[in-house]
A and B are shown apart, each in its own frame.
Chain A
Amino acid sequence: MVKKSRRRFEIADVSYLTVVWLIIIISSLMVLLPILHVLAASFSSSEAVIRGVYLWPRDFCLDGYTAVFQNSKVLRGFVNSVLYTVIGTAFNVVMTICAAYPLARNKLHGRKTIMMLFVFTMLFSGGMIPTYLVVHRLKLVDTFWSMIFPTAINVYLMIIARTFFENTIPNDLYEAAHIDGANDFQLFLYIAIPLSKAICAVLALRYAVQHWNDYYQAVLYIRSDGRQPLQIVLRNIMLATNIDIDSMSAMDVEQYAKLKQLSYLLKYSLIVISTIPMLVLYPFIQKYFIHGVMIGAIKG
């Protein structure tokens, strides 16, 4: 009797584990296959891509990449995106730390009220147009700073940073330093900031990803070609199905078809190029990213 029920459990375990492994395998493949395909296609020749490239490059060549780097818009977009990301992230981190640190000090009067002011913006916001009108009023539309200022603080990340300060720096430490004659500025500069390298890394990485991948701000605020980030350039190239009419009239049908194939290949290479900076950072990012989620989880 006992033996029989034991066997039934084993069968149940085996079928359960089969489902578990199926889920693991399917979700990994689901993620892996499209990524491999994009990489493979970007390193193939344009003729091969049209005939079908699956998971391994055919007629290995760098035509796509040469075509991408010959495009001045792409280079400009790349440089712009780097600038937005570097300057924007620096600004974000400073602003977030400046908000998080005072709010983590329990001696601050009115700390709950100020915190509520921040949290409320997560639940309710003015929306697209009123925010646009404010940016417009400040004469920031189509300037570099319109990509930086409106998103200066992500309240969710600010709460994570605040929780970090609360958990890692005990109040006694502040009090001890205070008795030794340090004022709040000195506590901030010589105690809080040196101890906050981990949280600065978390913030910087998350803000950097946000900036690099940003499309929304640019589509709202940036008008002139010279200031467009790479995401917008990529989008415009994706939408452009036809090559300039001027250059088209001069060539025959065969040439036209070739250019069309090349433009299809170029899109693959461009996709890779606009993702590479994040993927190169990824191994470093991942550790801190998960770290960041954990700090948030403690709060939740």
Chain B
Amino acid sequence: MSGDYKSVSRVRARPRLLRILKSDWQLYVILSVPLIWLIIFCYVPMGGIVVAFQNYNIRRGIFRSDWVGLRYIKMFVNSPNFLQLIGNTLSLSVYSLLVGFPMPIILAIALNECRFASIKKTVQTLTYLPYFISTVVLISIMSQIFHLRFGVFNVLRNSLGMESVDIMGKASLFRHLYVWSGIWQGMGFEAVLYIAALTNISTEIKEAAIIDGANRFQCMINVDLPGILPTIIIMLILSVGNLMSVGFEKAYLMQNPGNLRQSELISTYIYKLGLEQAQYSFSTAVSLFNSATNFVLILTCNLIVRKLGGSGLW
């Protein structure tokens, strides 16, 4: 503010704090419970990451466990499954991103071209529905349909004279099942955002393009796509930021001895180490390695977008 304010700021420091408290204390009271929650359930666990550098003992707690430095991080990097875990996680997430990311955009553009409002609405409602189905139910449906003996897929194959295939138990099919069931579940939901962005594009630009002789395809490429590009970029950065954090739940639910070679991901490994074998420190070290990589990925991606002239996330 003004110059003389600065010179007396020391003197005024206390009154200023008091003034803030006097005017805002009721808001702080309302905010206090969420803030306490945030500290206990988000920031204390962040501090708890230090167990990655300790030989953590649950009886002794964080303050009395022995420090071991980078031992567990090194142990993970040198462990025989390090490359396999990283490879499985990355190839699954890159595959999801490459195939799963464009799908909702394609669906949104197709629905946007549909001139029958009732059909558009029905299809939107329908494709949106699987989003409400839980992961457990999704995997259950898959294992019912692809059941080795009774599943409708194999019954159909048998009636056509083909042999039964154990779809769920094949390592080579795990990624396809994972990614395509994800598309099945999320496509309609993610399309909503793009449909919203598409309806915001002014019809005047489109009319001008048609007068200039563009056909509908050219309209889509030159008007619609650039119009939703900012939304696409934001969604892309968010997805890249999630590359390493492939959901634990779905992969864990889909795991069976047959596909473990490809379905063991960093997140499922963390769970097994930490909760099934109670190796808290090692597990946390693996998870720290994972989220650090993730953080770097999202920062890099944001930086690239900003260098290319986009607005980025921040």
Contacts and interface: CB of A to CB of B under 8 A. Distances in A.
Contacts of A20: 109-110, 113-114
B223 to A, nearest CB: 14
B141 A271 contact: yes
B11 interface: no
A182 B43 CA distance: 35
Given A35-B129, A231-B136, A293-B196, A95 B287 contact: no
Interface stretch (A163-171, A196-204, A244-252, A261-269): A261-269
B150 A261 contact: yes
Given A53-B152, A132-B274, A123 B298 contact: yes
Contact of B287 (A129, A136, A188, A212): A129
Interface stretch (B1-9, B33-41, B76-84, B170-178): B33-41
Interface stretch (B85-93, B120-128, B201-209, B257-265): B120-128
Interface in A257-285: 261, 264, 267-268, 270-271, 274-275, 278-279, 282, 285
A12 B216 CA distance: 8
Max count, chain B CB within 10 A of own CB: residue among A99, A124, A129, A285: A129
Interface in A91-136: 95-96, 98-99, 101-103, 105, 107-109, 114, 117-118, 121, 123-134, 136
B188 to A, nearest CB: 7
Contacts of B164: none
Given A105-B27, A109-B20, A300-B231, A12 B217 contact: yes
B24 A109 contact: yes
A125 B46 CA distance: 6
Contact of A282 (B30, B40, B129, B134): B129
B295 A124 contact: yes
Contacts of A107: 23-24, 27
B135 A215 contact: yes
Contacts of A37: 145, 152
Nearest to B217: A16
A99 B31 contact: yes
Contacts of B231: 297, 300
B271 interface: yes
B129 A274 contact: no
Given A107-B23, A293-B192, A128 B287 contact: yes
A51 interface: yes
A120 B286 CA distance: 21
Nearest to B214: A9
Given A52-B156, A274-B137, A125 B42 contact: yes
A297 B197 contact: yes
Interface of B: 20, 23-24, 26-31, 33-35, 37-38, 40-49, 51, 58, 61, 106-107, 109-111, 113-114, 119, 123, 125-130, 132-137, 139-141, 143-145, 147, 150, 152, 155-156, 159, 184, 187-188, 192-193, 196-197, 213, 215-217, 220, 231, 234, 241, 248-249, 252-253, 267, 270-271, 274-275, 280, 283-284, 287-288, 290-291, 295, 298
Interface of A: 5, 9, 12-13, 16-17, 19-21, 23-24, 27-28, 30-32, 34-35, 37-38, 41, 49-54, 95-96, 98-99, 101-103, 105, 107-109, 114, 117-118, 121, 123-134, 136-138, 149-150, 152-153, 183-185, 188, 209, 212-216, 219-220, 231-232, 234-235, 238, 261, 264, 267-268, 270-271, 274-275, 278-279, 282, 285-286, 289-290, 293-294, 297, 300
Q: Report the 6 A-B pairs with minimum CB-CB distance, sorted nearest first.
A: A126-B45, A130-B48, A213-B134, A99-B34, A184-B26, A52-B155
Given A52-B155, A52-B156, A212-B134, 17 more contacts: A12-B216, A31-B184, A37-B145, A53-B152, A98-B31, A107-B27, A127-B270, A130-B45, A153-B34, A234-B136, A235-B253, A270-B140, A271-B137, A271-B144, A274-B137, A275-B132, A297-B196
